[in-house]
Structure 1
Amino acid sequence: MTDVAVDPAERGAARVRWIRSRMPLLAAARAQFAESRPFSGHRIGMSLHLEPKTAVLLETLAAGGAEIVATGNHGSTQDDVVAFLRGQGMTVFGARDDTLEQHHAHVAAVVDAEPDILLDNGADLAALVAERGLAARIVGGTEETTSGGDRLRGELAGRIPFPVVVINDSLLKAIGENKHAVGQSVVESFMRLTNLMVPGRRFVVAGYGWCGRGVAHYLRQFGGKVAVVEVDELKAFEAALDGFRVGGPEQLNGDLARWGEVFITATGHPDILTPTFFDAVADGAVLANCGHFPWEIDVAALKAGAASVERLDDAIERIGLPDGRHVILLAEGRMMNLAGREPKGNSLESMDLGFLLQSLSLERVARDAASLRVGAQPVPDDIDREIARRMLAAMGADR
């Protein structure tokens, strides 16, 4: 049988059709925005994973009158979705095989297009706007991640003179998307990428925030033996009461390095798995990350000190260590559930909820930025509660 080439835009359109059909919250918002047009006269600059669910979000914003200029995040862009969005008249930069330098150039291109509202992921747009002294032209924006929220409150504190609603500060998102959707998708991605068994295997999860909680719980539900590494005493206490083995950085670089068979980082912070860990880790261990930035595993140091690097698959590398041990690295240390082979990301229902949070928060920024304080802040409580009501109704939770 002869393979028939499929136009990327057509493939993207087909994938988006399925996703769109299963996102009723965004469908209702899209119809509402088409009437109210809250984004008329606004250009929204976006840096967010470009995959089918994001395409439905952008359709929703465009229905409300927004002009869209967008790029993805490094390593997770899906080319057929880019082709589809360009066919819808949106300005979209980026490709899956972009280098980090090319990605930074695409972020700069979004800023160069002079958006007045930012839809950010990891605070890349906000940081560049601040660096270039362009903040005065920004009405406000949203930030998707904990990592980006940390940057806004840390290195960018006092440099962002406009409101930024941090979607990940929402308890609704923490429960629905981070704990349950990330937990599910990371475990699913581990099984899909490696084809290894979860039951009986020893896993070490670094970080017991909402994402780490979800990963640890879903691994255990599938029969994995799970240890948690956490530096925050209260989170470590919670993990212990939840029945997990618990340790700190010393154990991660000591007993747990030798005990674990799979290590998954979920902290949002750099340098979690470092040369000290590589010197101690058991032969054959699998290393993976689900945090936003690819800095939790020190991949550069790992490869610099390697005796050999062998690519076994587009998402699997075998790193030979000088003393004869080896480790397996998944997705080059990037987000394994979005940067790996055949990425699916979080569940449709969770992203319907999460992207409705984005949509209504952006609507609040566009219509009433003056009601919001300057800088990073959580989703307004009335938006959280309204979406909770809509999600419960969509789930049929009363049945």
Structure 2
Amino acid sequence: MNAVERSIVADQSLAPEGHLKIDWVKAHMPVLNRIREQFEKEQPFRGLKVAISLHLEAKTAYLAKVVQAGGAEVTITGSNPLSTQDDVCAALAEDGITVFAKYNPDPKEYKELMIKTLETKPDLIIDDGGDLVTILHSERRDLLAGVRGGAEETTTGILRLKALDKEGRLEFPMVAVNDAFCKYLFDNRYGTGQSVFDGINRTTNLVVAGKTVVVVGYGWCGKGVAMRAKGLGAQVVVTEIDAIKAVEAYMDGFTVLPMSEAAKIGDYFVTVTGNRDVIRGEHFEVMKDGAILSNAGHFDVEVNKPELAAQSSSVRTVRRNIEEYQLKDGRKIYLLAEGRLVNLAAGDGHPAEIMDMTFALQALSLKYVNDRYEEIGKTVVNVPYELDEQVARYKLESLGISIDRLSDEQKAYLQSWQEH
């Protein structure tokens, strides 16, 4: 049985459109192209099975093809029901990758597709949000045997992994890709900032300039969203629970308020905390008529949808990816993309040049954990600095940029306490 026959996709006839998308991003991912050349020569995954759960669009598809080029038998599924692109799935199946993914499956089918991915009994995994790891450590522990390790993409996933690790229950090593410099400095900040407003703008077709944008959370993703909102001409308000980050937001020129106050003045809201219920019933009660809510955190729990529905007299879809909640007092609040990741559920995700660096880290981290899984042990580890720096060096070379190097004398000076 070939990959097309094994795969579960929505419409195999969409493959030509998916190939065009993948070809486009490949042309804009020079770092990953360079790693692909290395993998084709070295075959680091020869004879191994790799399971991938990521937002299944063109850039992810190209990462899967790079891992495949390294000798792996690859199976892939989505990490969000609304971010999967059916044409890309069909194209991957034609290219020999087994795909278990469809756009917007019901929750039961979505879970079943993930489990089918794990039932291939992978040696290595690439996870997004910790979903594969969670299934392996809970209801399908029978599939743990043989898993050497993997790499995790997101802040949310790393929080879940560290909780497992702290309890001594993590059964294999995982590399925290999100915590690498070349991930959070560029992907989380510049990627999230641009892609969030790409999703918001194409969905609403409304102006941002002159509006008040409330950014909920000032981590690296929040920094990027606030920066881009300011660049689009918005007044930016930041809400935080961390005093240090709140001071940082203030010194970056943004107004800092508690959500109870920010809720009264916001036109747009973007949640980027990784936590639940950061916008909830008490906040809906004081929001402006026409307020627009969106989420850029991993799960659709940051905006409390049940409480919003309970305060509403009616709910209807007014545009694709826009639900209108009419409150009992007549005000209307709009929720984008069902409260899921607005940049992927209502857009194409981060720019290809940004994901080039992130997915280069994923590919190199997968090789790293495969080469050293026994010595690493059952724990969460950071991406080695030399891999981080290698990705940055490849990126600079692709841009034609050179940087200085320390002389031997300068190295000696920096390493000695006696030099002055």
Say which of 311, 328, 335 aligns to 1:322. 328
1:29 equivalenced with 2:35 (yes/no): yes
Say which of 375, 392, 395 aligns to 1:391. 395
Say which of 380, 383, 386 aligns to 1:382. 386
- What is the 5 A alignment of 1:149-188? 149-155=158-164, 157=166, 158-188=168-198
- What is the 5 A alignment of 1:1-399? 7-73=13-79, 74-131=81-138, 132-133=140-141, 134-155=143-164, 157=166, 158-247=168-257, 251-253=258-260, 255-340=261-346, 343-398=347-402
Structure 1 residue 97: Cα displacement: 2.0
Partners of 2:313 and 2:402 lie apart in 1 by 58
Q: Which moved more, 1:237-246 or 1:106-115?
A: 106-115
Partners of 2:198 and 2:245 lie apart in 1 by 25
Partners of 1:184 and 1:53 lie apart in 2 by 16
Structure 1 residue 156: Cα displacement: 5.8
- Whether contact under 8 Å (2:164, 2:170) holds in the other structure is no
State the secondary structure of the residue aligned to 1:307. strand
Q: Which moved more, 1:187-196 or 1:349-358?
A: 187-196
TM-score of the superposed pair, with normalisation by structure 2: 0.90
Structure 1 residue 155: Cα displacement: 4.9
Gaps of 5+ in 2: 1-10, 404-420
Task: Report the aligned-residue RMSD.
Answer: 1.6
Partners of 1:322 and 1:92 lie apart in 2 by 44
State the secondary structure of the residue aligned to 2:285. helix
Letter of the structure 2 residue corresponding to residue 45 of structure 1: A
Partners of 1:347 and 1:336 lie apart in 2 by 14
- Whether contact under 8 Å (1:135, 1:160) holds in the other structure is no
| Identity %, equivalent residues | 40
Partners of 2:368 and 2:336 lie apart in 1 by 39
- Whether contact under 8 Å (1:211, 1:266) holds in the other structure is yes
- Whether contact under 8 Å (2:203, 2:320) holds in the other structure is no
Partners of 2:169 and 2:146 lie apart in 1 by 13
Partners of 2:74 and 2:385 lie apart in 1 by 27
Structure 1 residues 156, 316: closer, same or farther in 2, change over 3 A?
Answer: farther
Structure 1 residues 300, 209: closer, same or farther in 2, change over 3 A?
Answer: same
Structure 1 residue 137: Cα displacement: 2.2
- Whether contact under 8 Å (1:107, 1:125) holds in the other structure is yes
Partners of 2:46 and 2:87 lie apart in 1 by 28
Partners of 1:56 and 1:324 lie apart in 2 by 47
Partners of 1:84 and 1:140 lie apart in 2 by 27
Structure 1 residue 135: Cα displacement: 3.2
- Whether contact under 8 Å (1:136, 1:161) holds in the other structure is no
Partners of 2:145 and 2:285 lie apart in 1 by 49
- Whether contact under 8 Å (1:315, 1:332) holds in the other structure is yes
Q: Which moved more, 1:8-17 or 1:103-112?
A: 103-112
Partners of 1:63 and 1:205 lie apart in 2 by 40
Partners of 2:384 and 2:165 lie apart in 1 by 22
Structure 1 residue 305: Cα displacement: 2.9
Letter of the structure 2 residue corresponding to residue 135 of structure 1: L
State the secondary structure of the residue aligned to 1:154. helix
TM-score of the superposed pair, with normalisation by structure 1: 0.94
- Whether contact under 8 Å (2:12, 2:87) holds in the other structure is no
Structure 1 residue 398: Cα displacement: 3.9
Structure 1 residue 263: Cα displacement: 0.6
Letter of the structure 1 residue corresponding to residue 307 of structure 2: A
Structure-1 residue corresponding to 2:414: none
Gaps of 5+ in 1: none
